[in-house]
Homo-oligomer: A and B are copies of this chain.
């Protein structure tokens, strides 16, 4: 090391390697209703500047973009998520981008997913994908703040708010998780959106691209920060909840 003195400095994760994806807690804990935020947004931002998640009490969708954290609350309002706010579940990377691809005019989110799976195979790695462009249509959702005793995410998601937008410009923030990490994160690509004017955002249920470009980053270094409270140890995290996770992440809501 050039700076020998650094070896003695307190270690933190303020400068994680770019091929690292860091997640806070695991998806099955969230599925079981563990919505208490135990990790600060400040801590999350030290681990990455790009990612997705939720807020304390499941208070909406979290979008981390260009080093800032945004909350999309249950009414669809985009707010700054201060570094003192907390989260029960989030996934971030320090986005540098190790490749770029012009996006096809995908007619659905499934088509967009298929495009990236083909062009950025790496089936057993995590991949962060940033898509910037204009969208013909966009279907977003958010969830409303919950109070204990918490219901499961499958129950709460039935009451999600869903919004349809047309002709909107912004960024899709995507984190792709390999299939073998089911139970720990959302397998496939988990997409959130934030508009260029920072007035519209949410968890993406569907989209139709007008014109877009993407950058991506393959992550082979996966850090999982676990909750150290006794409540966490009591959760049955080994249950196979793949179909419930899939329902929660892609369901269009009761009104669809």
Contacts and interface: CB of A to CB of B under 8 A. Distances in A.
Interface string A218-235: 101111111110001111
A15 B5 contact: no
Most B Cβ at <10 Å: residue of A121, A180, A221: A180
Number of copies: 2
B17 A11 contact: yes
Contact of A220 (B222, B225, B235, B237): B225
Contacts of A105: none
| Residue among A224, A227, A234 with the highest chain B CB neighbour number at 10 A | A224
Judged by DSSP, the binding face of A is loop
Given A121-B233, A233-B125, A16 B11 contact: yes
A237 to B, nearest CB: 4
Interface residues of A, number: 43
A196 interface: no
Nearest to A14: B7
A10 B1 contact: yes
A178 interface: yes
A124 B221 contact: no
Interface of A: 1-3, 5-7, 9-12, 14-17, 26, 28, 121-125, 178-180, 182-184, 218, 220-228, 232-235, 237-238
